[in-house]
Amino acid sequence: MNKKIMKAVLAIAVVFCFAAMPISGMIGNPITGMVRADDAVGVVRNVAPVVETAMTTGGDTIVYNSGSDSLTFNASIRDRNREDDIGVVDATPSTCWFNISSVTTGDFTNYTIRIAATALLSTQANMYNSSGAPADGILVLSSTLTDTTQGFQWTCPATWGAGTDYVGNLTIADTDGESCYTTITFECKSAIKTIGIYNYTGLAVDIATPYYWNFTTTDPDVFNVTSGNWSYTYSETAANHDYINATGRLWSYWIIVNNSGGSASQCFNISFGATGFTSASKPGTPITTGNVIRFEYYRTSNRTYDGATEAGTNSNASWVTANEPSNLTYVKDGVSPDITNNDGMYMFQFDTAVQNIWVRYMIDIPDTCRASADYTCAYTVTA
């Protein structure tokens, strides 16, 4: 092969070589000769959040519906795509919530979730981002802006019913809708139990609901009319109407309240309100309770139980009066140690974990009062 042919073949080979090179590979620094590479492409897969710490209540699985007893729910969630895959600071993702409910009682409450909250409403729970590791993907359930108080502190309302199937449920979802949840079951117990209305000898008068705690027909300007089947007054003079009237208790109806929650110092209120007894058919002068109503009560460890038609042994008013009169306590709305004046309410307190308290009430009939058989007053017994 002659030299002309060899040069032609070499020229063709060089052209093919450069044609096979990518354009980007030909663009470089004219001084160093370095060329720019194309961007590499990578994908980090989204993963669902997981339960880092399962829901607990610190070993306490019973709460009392006293309106003041609490549980502390502890739980944490981890998202390996970071915390902001669930929500940025102060976000309230609609797919995240914390709720507490019972199928048996129908009681339910729901808290929306805020992520790393800077402010909280009473209807919200915080998923707190630990300051010790702010980008570790872990969020901790809290009822405050930090987790210094440990967990979500929840107080059981006094209106919630007793049940063993209460559930605390935390559900967290990320921005792609991938979710996880953790739950715990706990029990709600009654802090107190109203057993019913009983007479002086310990026989049941009313063990249905609502309890009919009545007083009978009386005359205007009669003092210390007692709850029960007889109108009795110790004296017709106002100077004596605060007298502890022993004869009146013989004809009284007593309400029995049981310390079912087991807290030795549990309290409960009996409230008639400040307005008092009124007649719907003949409205006129109400029978005032605020700063007027009086109560006599005693405590007994010989308990009467729900549904019993007779009081327990040695636990009726006649036995207490005959044997332990020092156990009887006489109090009045608006007089110390009553907490609030003129509200028709008095707070009673147990002093042991296994106890009943028997209570009767006394009222004064106004000097002028319309005759009517339908004087009523709604009362409540609440822990």
Q: Which residue matches tokens 């020092």? A: 326
Stretch 214-235: mean pLDDT: 76
Q: Give the pLDDT band of residue 97 (cuts 50, 70, 90).
A: very high
Reading the block at residue 145, the tokens are 């802006």
Reading the block at residue 261, the tokens are 């929650």
Nearby residues of 75 by Cβ (< 8 Å), 6 or more positions away: 51, 53, 54, 55, 56, 140, 141, 151, 170, 182
Q: Where in the chain is the domain with CATH 2.60.40.3880?
A: 50-189
Q: pTM for this structure?
A: 0.67
Who has greater pLDDT, 26 or 244?
Answer: 244
pLDDT digits (tens, 9 = 90+) for 142-183: 999 987 778 999 999 988 998 999 999 999 999 999 999 999
Task: For domain 50-189, give the fold.
Answer: Immunoglobulin-like (2.60.40)
Least confident of 13-17, 57-61, 220-224, 255-259: 13-17
pLDDT digits (tens, 9 = 90+) for 347-383: 999 999 889 999 999 998 998 999 999 999 999 998 8
Q: Give the pLDDT band of residue 235 (cuts 50, 70, 90).
A: low
pLDDT at 29 over 70: no
